[in-house]
Structure 1
């Protein structure tokens, strides 16, 4: 029987979000209903509200979530009612050319629930990243549920659903950071600081964090950065080169998503080094680099989408590290808030006051 719950809705571009009653249908074949326990407030949700993703309003926001499976539809075998899960937006198909080549982390045909959640008047909702977890319950494809250790804190675990996984994966999966490497991270918000953590987990010998905010740089230092650079007062390329013997870093992770910081990342890497773009640019942004420099410096220029993660592989492993005390996910939870406080959390995000506000139910 369909259920009615409360959810955070963005009805039109730029309008403040509101709490409304939504209808969650019973799960159909391959689907699951999840009782949400916690959901992080991510910049992507703000992009949806601002029309920066698409204009399929109204949106049911929220996607960085953990909770408990309440019910499943026909044919679901990967999870069962009662399982504690992290929600993901890479439910791999198993049939596309990437999956068939053994690279499911690049799946080209990820899927979501086929049924739609609706407003009380029947208006269909577009769930953020196919999840829509600023709600007491949500309907997703069963493949979007990754079972993990139920002893993990939901507020911390849910952050692996997007931002923290994106940063850790940018370092480990995309950047291929190895033991003894030098790493520079440009932009130390939630994703950038997660990249710092990923570089530390991978055994990097030198981790240089660059940002224009001293508060964010202090956090980066606490999370494992060995050096910090305030780009407002110090030219970051020169500083990163000086800290790496004049050579540049082996891996430079750009976590801002702007042409000027990408250019900094390009010139701050060592010859044959790697640049990883994990910051999300806007559609109108363009980059111009001398093609001879691209050729002459060698190495790799990569983009990292969701940290090139495979949820079924990465989420349980990272939760195990968290439970062992080797990965401090709790450090990313700046505050826990109520569903009604999401709009205020967007305002705090603008001011750079938080790594993550997390809605808890």
Structure 2
């Protein structure tokens, strides 16, 4: 059983941190801070609760004036950056939490601190309440950050303004109208940092949920500019490809509804236990007189707690089959519970998709 992620927020992490805070601001009392953090309720707290709790305890041990306290947090962060360089360090996420929890009221002080702290622990979640409270000011700031010399700050300009940031606070206005995001992505599409380009692709994938044609228009303009933008476009269109969008398929050389392609001999486990492995196999056949470019996926209809089904598509591979060629495919899907997916017993469905269309399917039981 893997160690729960929440357990990284432990004395071995926070003891040296509290010593550094005291070096930056001598009145800080490490023992008082650690006692507040590791109280008799701490073991019951989950991941998000722990990081917010640490941020609150830190606030309680620093000067009452927010700007003075924030200056200490910013100086501590700068010490880490000077010593170790810029990083995406998850274990220090309570530093961005400090601003998220206590600084939305003071934009002028918080924005420079965000610019520093995101170079050590990403502030993508921190900026979400700022976007809700100060949209126009934040849109301008995010655009300015897209031209920042630090790749970590440039990444924040895209990641923080995603319409559907996973585990992040929603920003409904950006779902309705992503116009403020587009100039940022234009600035970043040729970014030298892979982490920045990946964020651009994920942002476009988010936008495509509500505005597929807008993303496809951008994809058309960006395709062929450079191998990096080609990668961004393909990754950005992954949701559209999984949904069988004909225009997206065509951009990458796939024709929706290909003729003379068959999926035969679909075999799969009749049942699988929660925590077990579901195996399946099939034969892919090109009966056409010409080669066929094929995108293979499988879809599973999962049972949900409410009794409805939730569909999830998984990519298998992209292949080109010669005339008359056959290809055997074997795959499996684990039914292990995770924090992001919980399985429920009942009838499930499996479908084999070729260029977005189901060519074979069957049902199985999860126990």
Task: Please identify the structure whose Cα radius of gyration is greater.
Answer: 2
TM over 0.5: no
Structure showing the higher strand proportion among its residues: 1
TM-score when scaled to structure 2? Answer: 0.25
| Structure having greater relative contact order (Cα 8 Å, sep ≥ 6) | 1
TM-score when scaled to structure 1? Answer: 0.25
